[in-house]
Structure 1
Amino acid sequence: MGKLYLLPNLLGETTVEGVIPRDVIDTIKSIRIFATENVKNTRRYLKKIDKTIHIDELTFLDLNEHSDIKDIEAYIPYLKDNDVGIISEAGCPGIADPGAELVALAHRHNYQVVPLVGPSSILLALIASGCNGQNFSFNGYLPVNRSERVKSLKTYEKQSAAENRTQIFIETPYRNLQLFEDIVSSLSPVTRLTVACDITTENEYIKTMQIKDWKHVKPDINKRPTIFILYARPF
C-alpha cells in the first residue's frame, strides 16, 4: 500500500538546498507519480533537484483549479501499489491550492498521508511579522470588486481588534498595488500592516509598519508574490 506525500516546492528563484531538507529531497527522488498543479513547473523543479532524474519515466496527474472531484477520485487507485506525491505551484501543498481534495480522499480510503517539511510563505510571513501568532486566520483572496474588498478589509480589521487576531490574506500579483492602496486608504492609521514578498529569495522584502507610516511608502510589490497581514493593535 502506497503513501500520499505532501511535497514542498520552492517559493521563487533560490537553491533547493537552501530551503528543502536533504531527507525531503531523497523522498522526492524516490517517487514516480506526482499529482501537480503545474506539470511544466514540476518537471523544472525535479530537474533542479537532480539533473539525472528521467522525467519521461514519471507519471504526472493534473491537480489544479479545473480538476473536478471525479478527476481526483480517479487518482486514488494509484496509491494501491505506489507512493504518490502532491506538489503545489509554490510552497507547501494543501494551503491555498487544490491539493486538499486529494488528501481528503486519501484519508477516506485509509491511505497514510505524510506531510514533509518545506517553505510556506504564509507561515514564514507570519513569524516574521511581529503580529499575534497565537490567534490568526488565513483568509485567502479578497473580493475583486473594490467596494466588496474594502468592506472585507474593514470586517477583518474589526475582528482583529475584537479578538486580538492576526489576519492573513493574498492577492493575484498584478492586483497587489490596488489592494495595498485600499488598505492604506480605508483602515485605521494605527493598524499594523505587514507586506511580505519573494520570501526565501535574494529579493525578499518583509516590513511591518502602522498604516499611517505606510502612507509615505510605496513598496515595490507589483507582480510579485506577496502576503498581506493585518493586526489591529498599535506597536
Structure 2
Amino acid sequence: MTFRAVGILKSVALIAAEDTRNTQKLLNHFEIKTKQISFHEHNSTERIPQLIAKLQQGEDIAQVSDAGMPSISDPGQDLVAEAVRLGLTVVPLPGANAALTALIASGITPQPFYFYGFLNRKKSEQKQEIQELVQRPETLIFYEAPHRLKETLKALLNGFGDRQVALCRELTKRHEEFIRGSLSEVLDWATSSEIRGEFVIVLAGNDHPEETEMATIDLSISVPEHVQQLIDEGARTNDAIKQVAKLRNLKRQDVYNEFHGI
C-alpha cells in the first residue's frame, strides 16, 4: 500500500470491493472507515450501472480487487471501459503487480514478454491456445490457481516441450516462493508438494520459431478459395480455417463464417 492509496480510500464516497471481507481487514489495518459495496464477476452486470450512476452524480468511487491489480483478470476492466466511454475520469493507483513482480525475479529474459493470464479451463480449448502460443519468441506469463496447477503444467510440458520455467507463488506475501527449473522438474515438484497460494508461471519463449512463409501466400485469392485450396491439399476443414486465419491475421470465426457463407 502506498500513502496515496490509503489517502484515496479514506477520501472516496464508496469502495467497490471484490471481496468485502478481505478488504475490510485492509481497511481496519489502516483505520479507514469508508463504506464498501461488493463488486465481482458474478454481480458485475448489475453493479456497473449502479456504480456509473453514482459517478455521474459526482461521487468518487475506489475499486479494489481481492488480490493483484484491478482490471487484470478482474471485472474492473468492464467498469473502466464504461467509465471511459462516458467520459468519466479514471485514476489508476499503481501497486504490486504479480506478472511484473514474477518476471523480474524469474531469471528468465524479462523483455520482450507476452502476458496471457489464465488459460482456458476446457482441455480442448486450452490445447488450442497453447498451439497458438508455441511459436512466440517472447517470455510468456500465465496465472494459475493452486488446484489447477499440476494439470496446467502437464499441458504446458506436452505443448511447449521441456522449456525453462519459474513458478512464482504468493508474491509480496509472507510465504513468497520461487521454484525454477525445466517444466518437467517443476511438474515433479508440484506432484510431490502440497500446493498452496496463487501462482504466476513465467515460461521461456521459443528460441527458434518457425518462419511463416508469408511470401508464398497468394492474397489475391479470396478467403473461401484459400481455405478450399488447403483442403484440396489434404487439410481438414477446421485446420484449414485455422491456418488461413493465422496466415491472414483474421479472426477464426470470421474465416469460418465467410467459408460457410454465414
TM range (shorter): 0.7 to 0.9
Indicate the structure with greater helix content.
2
Asked if 1:45 corresponds to 2:31, the answer is no
After superposition, the CA RMSD in angstroms is: 2.4
- Off by >6 Å, runs of 4+ in structure 1: none
- Number of aligned pairs? 205
Asked if 1:62 corresponds to 2:38, the answer is yes
Aligned to 1:227: 200
Query: CA 1:213–1:66 in structure 2 vs 1: closer, same or farther (change >3 Å)?
Result: closer
> What letter is aligned with 1:209?
G
* Residue deviations 1:70-112 (CA, integer Å, cap 9, x gap): 5312211222322110000112101011001111122122221
Which fold has the larger relative contact order, with Cα–Cα distance below 8 Å and residues 6 or more apart in sequence? Answer: 1
Asked if 1:210 corresponds to 2:187, the answer is no
For structure 1, the 5+ residue unaligned runs are: 1-19
Q: Secondary structure at the match of 1:167?
A: strand
Q: Secondary structure at the match of 2:101?
A: helix
TM-aligned CA deviation for residue 148 of structure 1: 4.1
Asked if 1:74 corresponds to 2:47, the answer is no
Aligned to 1:22: 3
Q: What's the TM-score once normalised by structure 2's chain length?
A: 0.69
For structure 2, the 5+ residue unaligned runs are: 208-262
Query: CA 1:215–1:175 in structure 2 vs 1: closer, same or farther (change >3 Å)?
Result: closer
Asked if 1:141 corresponds to 2:118, the answer is yes
Q: What's the TM-score once normalised by structure 1's chain length?
A: 0.76
CA contact (8 A) 1:36 1:60 kept: yes
Aligned to 1:11: none
1:133-212 to structure 2, matched below 5 A, reads 133-156=110-133, 158-160=134-136, 164-189=137-162, 191-211=163-183
Structure number with larger C-alpha Rg = 2
Query: CA 1:223–1:214 in structure 2 vs 1: closer, same or farther (change >3 Å)?
Result: closer
Q: Secondary structure at the match of 2:43?
A: coil
* Distance (Å, rounded) in 2 between the aligned partners of 1:36 and 1:84: 10
TM-aligned CA deviation for residue 65 of structure 1: 0.9
CA contact (8 A) 1:142 1:152 kept: yes
> What letter is aligned with 1:28?
L
